Amino acid sequence: MTSVIASNPGSSMATSRRGLGITLWVLQVALGLFFMMVGYSHAIAPFDQVSQQAVWMQHVARALSLFIGYAELAGGLGLIIPAATRIAPWLTPLAALGLATIMILAILFHIVRGEAGVVGVPALLATLALFVAWGRWRKAPISPRKGKSNG
């Protein structure tokens, strides 16, 4: 079996591409659900309850925390829906870039506040979102539906 794979380099490339595609889908769904949950808590859940857990919300204007929450909700949906429906799938890497931007800004926010100890999670999320953006833009883009306008 190994000699068949070695003699057919296209099959190992196809397996590698399929593995990347599966990895990207797992990340898209996991990140999408995470950001939808967090976005819901930042934008829709009762402020008094959420701000007890997300203390940073007490230190920014409510309009900013609402904007961040709705951006996280939109980004989470954008990681999944355009790719799953194949309607405007080019939105998926843009959603990933948007979420990475939010996380990079969160890192800066926490560093300025002297909370460098909490930047690990946003750094990991930014890295994963950037990986999804790169993967869906360059290595494993999702083709739009045929016969549909995607612009």
User: What pLDDT, on a 0 to 100 scale, did the predictor assign at position 9?
Assistant: 52
User: What pLDDT, on a 0 to 100 scale, did the predictor assign at position 17?
Assistant: 87
What is the span of the domain harbouring residue 135?
A: 36-139
Residue 47 lies in a domain: yes
Q: What angle do CA 120, 123, 128 make, to 5 degrees?
A: 125
Give the ranges where 9-150 is alpha helix by DSSP (H). 9-43, 47-53, 62-85, 91-112, 120-134
User: What pLDDT, on a 0 to 100 scale, did the predictor assign at position 15?
Assistant: 86
Task: Give the other-Cβ count within 10 Å of 6's Cβ.
Answer: 10
Residue 10 lies in a domain: no
Residue 86 lies in a domain: yes
pTM of the model: 0.87
Domain count, the chain: 1
How many Å apart are CA 45 and CA 30, to the nearest integer?
21
Residue 29 lies in a domain: no
Amino acid identity of residue 25, one-letter, is W
Residue 109 lies in a domain: yes
Residue 50 lies in a domain: yes
Residue 124 lies in a domain: yes
User: What pLDDT, on a 0 to 100 scale, did the predictor assign at position 7?
Assistant: 46
User: What pLDDT, on a 0 to 100 scale, did the predictor assign at position 16?
Assistant: 86
User: What pLDDT, on a 0 to 100 scale, did the predictor assign at position 97?
Assistant: 98
User: What pLDDT, on a 0 to 100 scale, did the predictor assign at position 3?
Assistant: 41
Low-confidence stretches of the chain (pLDDT beneath 70): 1-10, 148-151
How many Å apart are CA 67 and CA 74, to the nearest integer?
10
Residue 15 lies in a domain: no
How many Å apart are CA 27 and CA 93, to the nearest integer?
12
